Amino acid sequence: MDADSTSKPLHENLDTTFVNLWSLLRSLTQKGFIGRVHVESTDYSADVFMNGSSAPIVHEIDRAAGTETIEEAALHRLVLRARETPGTISLFEGADEAAAVPTLAPTYAKPASTASVVVEQPADRSPDVSAATVDEDRKTEAPVTPIAEPSSVFEAVIAKQLSEEIYPAGSYNDWPAILATTGELIGAIERGINASGGDFDSLFQAARVELADDYSFLDPFSQTFAYANGVASLNHQPAVSVFVSGLSEALRRTIDRVAVGERARRIRERVALEMLTVARRQIVVLERSGFQAQLDRIAGTRVI
Protein backbone atom coordinates (compact mmCIF):
# COMPACT_ATOMS: atom_id res chain seq x y z
CA MET A 1 0.00 0.00 0.00
CA ASP A 2 2.70 2.46 1.03
CA ALA A 3 4.84 1.73 -1.99
CA ASP A 4 2.01 2.74 -4.33
CA SER A 5 1.11 5.94 -2.51
CA THR A 6 1.76 9.20 -4.34
CA SER A 7 1.05 11.38 -1.31
CA LYS A 8 3.86 13.21 0.42
CA PRO A 9 4.16 11.94 4.01
CA LEU A 10 3.30 14.34 6.80
CA HIS A 11 5.97 12.55 8.84
CA GLU A 12 8.22 9.81 7.54
CA ASN A 13 10.24 6.94 9.04
CA LEU A 14 9.68 7.79 12.70
CA ASP A 15 11.55 5.22 14.80
CA THR A 16 9.26 3.07 16.99
CA THR A 17 12.10 2.90 19.51
CA PHE A 18 11.47 6.57 20.28
CA VAL A 19 7.86 7.08 19.15
CA ASN A 20 5.14 5.25 21.08
CA LEU A 21 2.65 4.10 18.45
CA TRP A 22 -0.24 3.84 20.90
CA SER A 23 0.32 7.38 22.21
CA LEU A 24 0.60 8.66 18.64
CA LEU A 25 -2.68 7.02 17.56
CA ARG A 26 -4.42 8.28 20.67
CA SER A 27 -3.21 11.83 20.01
CA LEU A 28 -4.26 11.66 16.35
CA THR A 29 -7.71 10.41 17.36
CA GLN A 30 -8.14 13.26 19.83
CA LYS A 31 -7.25 15.73 17.08
CA GLY A 32 -9.67 14.15 14.61
CA PHE A 33 -6.88 13.14 12.23
CA ILE A 34 -7.99 11.94 8.79
CA GLY A 35 -5.47 9.90 6.88
CA ARG A 36 -3.29 6.80 7.09
CA VAL A 37 -0.58 5.67 9.48
CA HIS A 38 1.89 3.20 7.94
CA VAL A 39 4.04 0.94 10.14
CA GLU A 40 6.92 -1.05 8.67
CA SER A 41 9.26 -3.56 10.28
CA THR A 42 11.12 -6.70 9.26
CA ASP A 43 8.72 -9.10 7.48
CA TYR A 44 5.72 -7.04 8.64
CA SER A 45 3.77 -3.95 7.61
CA ALA A 46 0.44 -2.39 8.52
CA ASP A 47 -1.69 0.58 7.53
CA VAL A 48 -4.12 2.21 9.96
CA PHE A 49 -6.91 4.04 8.11
CA MET A 50 -8.36 6.85 10.26
CA ASN A 51 -11.42 8.88 9.26
CA GLY A 52 -11.60 11.10 12.34
CA SER A 53 -14.64 9.44 13.89
CA SER A 54 -15.17 5.66 13.88
CA ALA A 55 -12.69 3.01 14.97
CA PRO A 56 -9.93 2.63 12.39
CA ILE A 57 -9.54 -0.23 9.94
CA VAL A 58 -6.12 -1.90 9.87
CA HIS A 59 -4.58 -3.60 6.83
CA GLU A 60 -1.97 -5.96 8.22
CA ILE A 61 0.58 -8.02 6.27
CA ASP A 62 2.68 -10.55 8.18
CA ARG A 63 5.15 -11.79 5.59
CA ALA A 64 6.83 -14.21 8.00
CA ALA A 65 3.53 -15.94 8.81
CA GLY A 66 2.17 -15.57 5.28
CA THR A 67 -1.04 -13.85 6.42
CA GLU A 68 -2.89 -10.73 5.33
CA THR A 69 -5.85 -9.29 7.24
CA ILE A 70 -8.15 -6.27 7.10
CA GLU A 71 -10.04 -5.66 10.35
CA GLU A 72 -10.43 -3.41 13.37
CA ALA A 73 -9.15 -6.15 15.68
CA ALA A 74 -5.67 -6.03 14.10
CA LEU A 75 -5.02 -2.73 15.88
CA HIS A 76 -4.40 -4.58 19.13
CA ARG A 77 -1.81 -6.86 17.52
CA LEU A 78 -0.17 -3.94 15.74
CA VAL A 79 0.32 -1.91 18.92
CA LEU A 80 1.81 -4.89 20.75
CA ARG A 81 4.14 -5.69 17.85
CA ALA A 82 5.33 -2.08 17.58
CA ARG A 83 6.30 -2.16 21.26
CA GLU A 84 8.39 -5.30 20.84
CA THR A 85 9.85 -5.00 17.33
CA PRO A 86 11.88 -2.04 15.98
CA GLY A 87 10.35 -0.40 12.95
CA THR A 88 9.29 2.88 11.37
CA ILE A 89 6.09 4.94 11.29
CA SER A 90 4.96 7.26 8.49
CA LEU A 91 1.88 9.52 8.44
CA PHE A 92 -0.13 10.35 5.33
CA GLU A 93 -2.82 13.00 5.74
CA GLY A 94 -5.98 13.39 3.68
CA ALA A 95 -9.41 11.93 3.00
CA ASP A 96 -8.07 10.00 -0.01
CA GLU A 97 -5.57 8.21 2.22
CA ALA A 98 -8.22 7.40 4.84
CA ALA A 99 -10.59 6.01 2.21
CA ALA A 100 -8.03 3.90 0.39
CA VAL A 101 -8.80 0.71 2.33
CA PRO A 102 -7.82 -2.24 0.11
CA THR A 103 -10.24 -5.10 -0.50
CA LEU A 104 -8.99 -8.66 -0.40
CA ALA A 105 -10.65 -10.88 -2.97
CA PRO A 106 -12.07 -14.15 -1.60
CA THR A 107 -9.88 -16.00 -4.09
CA TYR A 108 -6.71 -14.28 -2.88
CA ALA A 109 -3.84 -16.43 -4.16
CA LYS A 110 -1.62 -18.34 -1.78
CA PRO A 111 2.06 -17.41 -1.66
CA ALA A 112 4.70 -19.83 -2.85
CA SER A 113 5.33 -21.00 0.71
CA THR A 114 3.16 -23.58 2.45
CA ALA A 115 1.63 -20.98 4.78
CA SER A 116 -2.03 -20.12 4.18
CA VAL A 117 -3.38 -16.63 3.76
CA VAL A 118 -6.10 -15.66 6.22
CA VAL A 119 -8.68 -13.35 4.65
CA GLU A 120 -10.69 -11.41 7.19
CA GLN A 121 -13.12 -8.63 6.24
CA PRO A 122 -15.36 -6.83 8.75
CA ALA A 123 -19.08 -7.34 8.13
CA ASP A 124 -19.85 -4.13 10.01
CA ARG A 125 -18.27 -1.63 12.37
CA SER A 126 -19.89 -2.83 15.61
CA PRO A 127 -17.44 -3.03 18.57
CA ASP A 128 -17.99 -6.74 19.22
CA VAL A 129 -16.96 -7.84 15.72
CA SER A 130 -13.48 -9.44 15.86
CA ALA A 131 -13.34 -10.91 12.33
CA ALA A 132 -15.51 -11.36 9.26
CA THR A 133 -17.54 -14.50 8.63
CA VAL A 134 -15.35 -17.02 6.82
CA ASP A 135 -16.60 -19.94 4.69
CA GLU A 136 -16.42 -23.28 6.45
CA ASP A 137 -13.88 -24.68 3.97
CA ARG A 138 -11.55 -21.72 4.59
CA LYS A 139 -11.91 -22.14 8.37
CA THR A 140 -10.62 -25.66 7.96
CA GLU A 141 -7.73 -24.42 5.87
CA ALA A 142 -6.62 -21.57 8.12
CA PRO A 143 -8.40 -21.22 11.48
CA VAL A 144 -8.54 -17.74 12.99
CA THR A 145 -7.32 -17.31 16.56
CA PRO A 146 -9.51 -14.76 18.41
CA ILE A 147 -7.83 -11.87 20.18
CA ALA A 148 -9.17 -11.02 23.65
CA GLU A 149 -10.77 -7.58 23.81
CA PRO A 150 -9.21 -6.57 20.47
CA SER A 151 -10.16 -2.93 20.15
CA SER A 152 -11.93 -1.97 23.38
CA VAL A 153 -9.13 0.34 24.52
CA PHE A 154 -9.01 2.36 21.31
CA GLU A 155 -12.81 2.59 21.13
CA ALA A 156 -12.80 3.95 24.67
CA VAL A 157 -10.42 6.70 23.55
CA ILE A 158 -12.78 7.55 20.70
CA ALA A 159 -15.68 7.68 23.16
CA LYS A 160 -13.63 10.05 25.29
CA GLN A 161 -13.01 12.33 22.30
CA LEU A 162 -16.70 12.46 21.42
CA SER A 163 -17.67 13.36 24.98
CA GLU A 164 -14.83 15.81 25.67
CA GLU A 165 -17.23 18.76 25.69
CA ILE A 166 -18.97 17.28 28.73
CA TYR A 167 -15.74 17.27 30.75
CA PRO A 168 -13.34 19.86 29.31
CA ALA A 169 -9.69 19.32 30.21
CA GLY A 170 -9.01 20.25 33.84
CA SER A 171 -12.66 20.28 34.96
CA TYR A 172 -13.21 16.58 35.68
CA ASN A 173 -14.40 16.24 39.25
CA ASP A 174 -16.27 12.93 39.44
CA TRP A 175 -14.88 11.76 42.77
CA PRO A 176 -16.86 8.51 43.02
CA ALA A 177 -15.41 7.40 39.68
CA ILE A 178 -11.92 8.69 40.53
CA LEU A 179 -11.82 6.91 43.90
CA ALA A 180 -13.20 3.67 42.49
CA THR A 181 -10.54 3.69 39.79
CA THR A 182 -7.88 4.71 42.31
CA GLY A 183 -8.75 1.70 44.43
CA GLU A 184 -8.46 -0.59 41.41
CA LEU A 185 -5.12 0.94 40.40
CA ILE A 186 -3.59 0.65 43.87
CA GLY A 187 -4.97 -2.87 44.16
CA ALA A 188 -3.23 -3.83 40.91
CA ILE A 189 0.09 -2.47 42.18
CA GLU A 190 -0.46 -4.21 45.51
CA ARG A 191 -0.94 -7.56 43.76
CA GLY A 192 2.15 -7.08 41.64
CA ILE A 193 4.38 -6.15 44.57
CA ASN A 194 3.10 -8.86 46.91
CA ALA A 195 3.40 -11.49 44.19
CA SER A 196 7.03 -10.44 43.78
CA GLY A 197 7.74 -11.02 47.45
CA GLY A 198 7.36 -7.45 48.69
CA ASP A 199 5.16 -6.04 51.45
CA PHE A 200 3.00 -3.42 49.78
CA ASP A 201 1.36 -2.11 52.97
CA SER A 202 4.61 -1.20 54.71
CA LEU A 203 6.24 0.19 51.57
CA PHE A 204 3.23 2.35 50.69
CA GLN A 205 2.98 3.59 54.28
CA ALA A 206 6.63 4.67 54.24
CA ALA A 207 6.19 6.51 50.94
CA ARG A 208 3.14 8.35 52.28
CA VAL A 209 5.04 9.48 55.37
CA GLU A 210 7.87 10.84 53.19
CA LEU A 211 5.42 12.92 51.14
CA ALA A 212 3.21 14.07 54.01
CA ASP A 213 4.73 17.57 54.13
CA ASP A 214 4.10 18.18 50.44
CA TYR A 215 0.77 16.37 50.20
CA SER A 216 -1.09 16.57 53.49
CA PHE A 217 -3.85 14.20 52.36
CA LEU A 218 -1.24 11.41 52.20
CA ASP A 219 -0.25 11.81 55.87
CA PRO A 220 -1.38 8.53 57.49
CA PHE A 221 -1.96 10.32 60.79
CA SER A 222 -4.43 12.80 59.26
CA GLN A 223 -6.70 9.93 58.19
CA THR A 224 -7.76 11.96 55.16
CA PHE A 225 -6.94 9.25 52.64
CA ALA A 226 -7.39 5.54 53.23
CA TYR A 227 -6.83 2.41 51.19
CA ALA A 228 -7.58 -1.24 51.96
CA ASN A 229 -8.39 -4.30 49.86
CA GLY A 230 -8.85 -2.47 46.58
CA VAL A 231 -10.99 0.34 48.04
CA ALA A 232 -9.83 3.96 48.32
CA SER A 233 -11.61 6.72 50.25
CA LEU A 234 -11.20 10.41 51.11
CA ASN A 235 -12.57 12.46 54.00
CA HIS A 236 -11.52 15.70 52.35
CA GLN A 237 -11.21 16.23 48.62
CA PRO A 238 -8.15 18.17 47.39
CA ALA A 239 -7.84 19.45 43.84
CA VAL A 240 -7.87 16.52 41.43
CA SER A 241 -4.47 17.52 40.03
CA VAL A 242 -2.96 17.58 43.54
CA PHE A 243 -4.49 14.21 44.37
CA VAL A 244 -3.19 12.60 41.17
CA SER A 245 0.27 14.14 41.50
CA GLY A 246 0.74 13.17 45.14
CA LEU A 247 -0.63 9.65 44.88
CA SER A 248 1.30 8.95 41.67
CA GLU A 249 4.54 9.94 43.37
CA ALA A 250 3.73 7.78 46.40
CA LEU A 251 3.04 4.76 44.22
CA ARG A 252 6.19 5.38 42.18
CA ARG A 253 8.31 5.43 45.33
CA THR A 254 6.57 2.31 46.61
CA ILE A 255 7.53 0.39 43.48
CA ASP A 256 11.06 1.82 43.50
CA ARG A 257 11.59 0.36 46.96
CA VAL A 258 10.90 -3.19 45.86
CA ALA A 259 12.18 -3.10 42.26
CA VAL A 260 15.89 -3.32 43.03
CA GLY A 261 18.77 -5.58 42.10
CA GLU A 262 18.73 -8.21 39.38
CA ARG A 263 14.95 -8.69 39.65
CA ALA A 264 14.10 -4.99 39.22
CA ARG A 265 13.01 -5.23 35.58
CA ARG A 266 10.99 -8.38 36.15
CA ILE A 267 9.18 -6.83 39.11
CA ARG A 268 8.35 -3.65 37.21
CA GLU A 269 7.00 -5.68 34.29
CA ARG A 270 4.87 -7.77 36.65
CA VAL A 271 3.42 -4.63 38.24
CA ALA A 272 2.88 -3.02 34.82
CA LEU A 273 0.99 -6.10 33.66
CA GLU A 274 -1.37 -5.83 36.64
CA MET A 275 -1.83 -2.10 35.96
CA LEU A 276 -2.58 -2.77 32.30
CA THR A 277 -5.81 -4.56 33.20
CA VAL A 278 -7.05 -1.46 35.01
CA ALA A 279 -5.76 0.86 32.27
CA ARG A 280 -7.83 -0.98 29.68
CA ARG A 281 -10.99 -1.10 31.76
CA GLN A 282 -10.88 2.42 33.20
CA ILE A 283 -9.15 4.37 30.44
CA VAL A 284 -11.75 7.16 30.31
CA VAL A 285 -11.51 7.97 34.04
CA LEU A 286 -7.72 7.65 33.99
CA GLU A 287 -7.50 10.05 31.06
CA ARG A 288 -9.88 12.66 32.48
CA SER A 289 -8.38 12.61 35.97
CA GLY A 290 -4.76 12.77 34.75
CA PHE A 291 -3.66 9.34 35.98
CA GLN A 292 -3.18 8.01 32.44
CA ALA A 293 -0.19 10.27 31.83
CA GLN A 294 1.42 9.02 35.05
CA LEU A 295 1.13 5.25 34.54
CA ASP A 296 4.48 4.66 32.84
CA ARG A 297 6.23 6.87 35.38
CA ILE A 298 4.61 5.02 38.29
CA ALA A 299 5.61 1.59 37.01
CA GLY A 300 9.04 2.64 35.77
CA THR A 301 8.28 0.94 32.46
CA ARG A 302 5.65 1.05 29.75
CA VAL A 303 2.15 0.13 30.83
CA ILE A 304 0.36 0.77 27.50
Q: Do 216 and 153 share a domain, yes or no?
A: no
Whether residue 137 lies inside any domain: the answer is: yes
Q: Do 235 and 278 share a domain, yes or no?
A: yes
For 24-54, the pLDDT digits (tens) are 887 888 788 899 999 999 889 999 998 876 6
Range among 15-19, 138-142, 167-171, 190-194 with highest mean pLDDT value: 190-194
**What per-residue confidence (pLDDT) applies to 131?**
37
Cα distances from 181 to residues 86, 160, 194, 257, in angstroms, run: 33, 16, 20, 24
**Percent of the chain's residues with pLDDT above 90:** 35
Q: Do 19 and 53 share a domain, yes or no?
A: yes
The CA R_g of the chain, rounded to the nearest whole Å, is 22
Return d(Cα 268, Cα 113) in angstroms, integer: 41
Whether residue 86 lies inside any domain: the answer is: yes
Q: Do 273 and 199 share a domain, yes or no?
A: yes
Domain span at residue 239 reads: 175-299
The model carries a pTM of 0.48
Do residues 200 and 190 touch, judged by C-beta distance below 8 A? yes
If one counts the domains in the chain, the total is 2
Cα distances from 121 to residues 13, 48, 131, 135, 232, in angstroms, run: 28, 15, 7, 12, 44
Whether residue 167 lies inside any domain: the answer is: no
Q: Do 181 and 230 share a domain, yes or no?
A: yes
Do residues 192 and 274 touch, judged by C-beta distance below 8 A? yes
Whether residue 138 lies inside any domain: the answer is: yes
Whether residue 203 lies inside any domain: the answer is: yes
| Alpha helix segments (H runs only) across 259-291 | 264-281, 283-289
Q: Do 91 and 155 share a domain, yes or no?
A: yes
Q: Do 30 and 151 share a domain, yes or no?
A: yes
Whether residue 127 lies inside any domain: the answer is: yes
Q: Do 194 and 280 share a domain, yes or no?
A: yes
**What per-residue confidence (pLDDT) applies to 304?**
63
Q: Please give the mean pLDDT across all residues of the chain.
A: 76
Dihedral angle sign, alpha carbons of residues 231, 237, 239, 243: negative
Whether residue 110 lies inside any domain: the answer is: no
Do residues 220 and 207 touch, judged by C-beta distance below 8 A? no
Do residues 181 and 110 touch, judged by C-beta distance below 8 A? no
Q: Do 19 and 133 share a domain, yes or no?
A: yes
Q: Which of 103, 118, 112, 110 is nearest to 57 (CA)?
A: 103
Q: Do 219 and 149 share a domain, yes or no?
A: no
Return d(Cα 249, Cα 237) in angstroms, integer: 18
Q: How confident is the model at residue 130 (pLDDT cuts 50, 70, 90)?
A: very low
Please determine, for residue 247, whether its predicted confidence score (pLDDT) is greater than 50: yes
Q: Do 193 and 283 share a domain, yes or no?
A: yes
Q: Which of 163, 157, 118 is nearest to 141 (CA)?
A: 118
Whether residue 2 lies inside any domain: the answer is: no
Q: Do 92 and 198 share a domain, yes or no?
A: no
